[in-house]
Structures are given as structure tokens and as C-alpha cells.
Amino acid sequence: MAASGSAESASDSPAVWAEVRALLPRAEEGLTLALSGEVEDCVPPLLLRARTLLYGAAGRPGAGAAAALERLSDVLRDYSWEKLNAVPWREVSKAWRQVYAYGCLFGALAEVAAGRPLARAVRLCDLGLLMGAAVLDNVLSRLARALQPHLPRAAPGGGARAERVRLQPPPPALQPQEVIPHLRCPSLERFRDCYLIPQRPVVLEGVMDHWPCMKKWSVDYFCQVAGCRTVPVELGVRYTDEEWSQQLMTVSDFISQYIMDENNVGYLAQHQLFDQIPELKEDISIPDYCCLGEGEEDDITINAWFGPGGTISPLHQDPQQNFLAQVFGRKYIRLYSPQDSENLYPHESQILHNTSQVDVEDPDLVKFPNFKKAAFQSCILMPGQILFIPVKYWHYVRSLELSFSVSFWWS
């Protein structure tokens, strides 16, 4: 992770520029600047001008060219940022997301060419990965990965998995009739016939024992691999709370402020983490059972859930099948069938229509009297276990301690 002041790594070394330059096409025309849709007429000339500045010198752009490239990057990012925020996200044109990504790319390259500390260049790469669309064979991901080794690394002390000491309330006692069944490495046929087709939850054991993350992942490891990377963090116990918010910060800042400090509550819930940081994706595997779905492997969404004990996912449902894999820490999880939806009092607003109004562990039965009619299953998900949550099944999750989970959404 990047330190402050003089300890911050700078990009003065010709070797750094050579490594970065090798990620780009050799000839100017090879950097195609292709957009997948129409943008305003003033934008393509700006992109072409930035490309010319980048390739104008035989080697590394001089100070003047680097400064001009930085200014163009600012203009491209600011202009496209307005477009990204002018309409609901699902309506944002991919072309404008690509313009934003190019702006981040040119900005990061200007930082390296100017010989400045590399932390800002990596942050620009991450902003492009989070808010932009992939360009030039996902060059922003490759650029960030190339720059990371040149940044100072540090990790919080105090051990890998026991930093946060705040005690959490124990989970409710699990009654035998409510416990989700466990099964060790079932065949594809058995899982399909007994759980996928009838849509029955099950806890799978032994499936992820061979994943490298089971031996490698810890707080220290995340600092080393991703400490300098900028990610979105959810601040608050649960997303239905009024004070809940989101903020962009580096992984190292998240760990120091929300993992090491027991006075703050924050959660890294990231839908792009494994594309953003491929080193982490190499440590996990897509469960073989996903092949029973209708989509392709590229259609599977992989999510990261990293945070301290006490964070809660309110009772909600998702539109896809879900494998929730527990890497470290424990989680108390309760499941309700979609057949009980009427008894779970979903929010009436469109934004939260998939979320229950009921506080599962402290329900207001005067306000929500039918909640007591809803039957549920529960488990304490342990490291190395994978919970199959059928599509539309309502699920409530509370972290009992510092925890990292990976979920796979598939159809």
C-alpha cells in the first residue's frame, strides 16, 4: 500500500515507464480508441489529441507533453463523469463509460510519464475499472497490476485474522428441525436431482478445500496484494439503516479504519473485485455445480464480502442461484422460502422491494404479526463450507466475527 510523503514510490525509473509502455500497442494507430456508440462530436478529437501526445515522442513524453496529457485526461473524465451521473446507471451508454476509462488511462500514463508517485496512477486505474468500461483488452487492470509491485507495501500488525476484538451477540440456538442439511462433495447428478431441481438449500463441505485462498487469505495478505487499490466500501451495519452510506477508499485505509478500529463499522461488498484484482481471482474456483446452469461461465457474477463481526445483510432475495463460500470467519444465516414472501413484509418501494422490513433477530410482531408464521432454516456457515441459496430464497446474514465470503450468482 502507498505510504505518504517521501516514502511514496515515484515513477522516475526508466524501467517503470518501459514496463508500462510495453502494455500499449507499439504504433499510435494500434491504440484504436474504439467506442461502442455515439458520443458528442467534441470528444473524439480530444481522444485523438491525447493519443498523439502519448505517442508524439520517440520514448517517454516530455514534461510539457505529460502536462498537456494530464489536462486532456481531466477534461475527458470530467465531461464523461457528467454523462455517467445524468441518468440512472442502467441507462448509461457504454460509449460514455469507455470515454471515462480512456480518460483514466491517459491520466494514469501522464502520472507515470511525469515521474510522480505511483499511488495516484493506480487510483485512476481503479476508478476506470469501477466506473468505466473495458478498453484495449482490459488495459487498466493490466496497468494497475504492473504498477503495484513498485509501491511500498505494509500490513497492520497483530496477526492475520483476530484484529477486531468487539464481542458480538451469539447467534440464536439452532433447533434440529431448522438446520440446513450438510452434504460432502455430492456428485453433479445428486446435487441437481436433490437440491437444484427441487430448489432446496444445502451446505456443501469439502468442495473448496483445495482453493488457494483457504491457506493464503488473511488481513495481512490483502494489504500486501491490494492495499493500494481503491474499492467501494459500505459504511454502516446494514444497507437499510438511514446512516448507511458508500465511500471509495483504498483497501489499506478500509482495514485500518473499519477492521482494526472497533469503533467503526464498514463492509467491503464488491461486485468487481476479482476483475479489478486478478491476483485474488486466481485464488478461488467457480464451483463445478455451476455447469448445471443455463448460462456460460462468463455470465457468473463473483462477489466479495469482507468485513468485521456485527455487519448484517438484512433479509432479502436475489434473482439468481447463489453459492456463498466462506473463506474465513463464521456467519449466522437464516433462509425463508419464496412461498413465505407475504409473511416477510417486503418494502413497498421499488428500490427495496427485494428486502424485508422485519428485523429477523428482533422482530416487531405487533407491526408484522404474520412473520411468526414463516418457517425458516438456518446454519452457522464455517470456513470451507459453501451454502447453496436457491433463486429468490430470502436470506439473512450476520457476521459473527471478522469474515471473508465469496458468492457466485448463476442462472
* Inside any domain, residue 170: no
Ranges assigned E (strand) in 51-184: 182-184
Distance CA 358, CA 354 (A): 12
Q: What are phi and psi of 371, to 5 degrees?
A: -60, -35
Residue 167 lies inside a defined structural domain of this protein: no
Q: Same domain, yes or no, for 224 and 291?
A: yes
Distance CA 54, CA 7 (A): 28
**pLDDT value of position 5:** 42
Is 314 part of any domain? yes
- Averages of pLDDT over each 10 residues, the chain, 411 residues: 47 84 92 93 96 85 93 97 91 96 97 93 96 94 93 57 59 90 97 98 98 96 91 83 84 89 76 88 96 89 92 94 97 97 92 92 96 97 98 96 95 90
Is residue 409 within 8 A of residue 303, CB to CB? The reply is: yes
Smallest CA-to-CA distance from 113 within 47, 69, 56, 50 is with 69
- State which of 116, 150, 184 marks the end of a domain: 150
**22 secondary structure, DSSP code:** T
Q: Give me the pLDDT at residue 83, please.
A: 94
Cα separation, 256 vs 233, in Å, equals 13
Instruction: Give the cell for residue 283.
Output: 485464488
DSSP state of 175: P
- What is the number of domains present in the chain? 2
Q: Which helix (H) or strand (E) holds 98?
A: helix 94-113
Angle at 106 between CA 8 and CA 99, to 5 degrees: 130
Q: Number of helices and strands (H, E) in the chain?
A: 12, 13
Residues 55 and 100 in one domain: yes
Residue 96's domain spans which residues?
5-150
Q: Are residues 285 and 229 in the same domain?
A: yes
Run of H or E including 376: strand 376-381
Residue 166 in domain: no
Is 340 inside any structural domain?
A: yes
Q: Specify whether 185 is located in the same domain as 145.
A: no
First CA to last CA distance, the chain:
37
Cell of 340: 413465505
Same domain, 361 and 216: yes
Specify the pLDDT at position 159: 41
Nearest partner of 219 among 310, 62, 327, 381, judged by Cα: 327
> Which domain-ending residue is among 150, 185, 203?
150
If one counts every other C-beta atom within 10 angstroms of the C-beta of residue 213, the result is: 20
pLDDT of amino acid 292: 95
C-alpha cell of residue 119: 499511488
Same domain, yes or no, for 223 and 84?
A: no
CB-CB neighbours of 188 under 10 Å: 12
Amino acid, single-letter form, for residue 337: S
b/e string for 40-65 if b means 16 or more Cβ within 10 A?
eeebeebbeebbebbbeeeebbeeeb
Helix axes 139-147, 14-21, angle to 10 degrees: 160
Task: Return the pLDDT at 109.
Answer: 96
- Same structural domain, 49 and 103: yes
**Does 71 fall in a domain?**
yes
Quick one: which of 354, 349, 345 has its CA closest to 393? 354
Residue 85 lies in a domain: yes
Q: What is the reported pLDDT for 156?
A: 55
pLDDT for the residue 353: 87
Instruction: Tell which residue, 308, 302, 317, 328, has the closest CA to residue 396.
Output: 317
Say whether both 318 and 385 belong to one domain: yes
Q: What per-residue confidence (pLDDT) applies to 164?
A: 47
Q: Give the pLDDT of residue 155.
A: 54
Length of the chain (residues): 411
Say yes or no: 136 and 192 in one domain.
no
Domain boundary among 93, 115, 150: 150
Residues 355 and 211 placed together within one structural domain of the fold: yes
Whether residues 240 and 183 fall in one domain: yes
Q: Which of 219, 238, 396 is nearest to 311 (CA)?
A: 238
CA–CA separation, 269 and 90 (whole Å): 19
Decide: helix, strand or coil at residue 247.
Answer: strand
Give me the DSSP letters along 289-356.
GGGGSSS-GGG-EEEEEEE-TT-EEEEE--SSEEEEEEEES-EEEEEE-GGGGGGG-B-SSSTTTTBB
The answer to whether residues 267 and 319 belong to one domain is yes
pLDDT on residue 162 = 42
Judge whether 65 lies within some domain: yes
CATH number (domain holding residue 240)? 2.60.120.650
Q: Can you tell me the distance from the alpha carbon of 126 to that of 199, in angstroms, rounded to the nearest whole number?
A: 38
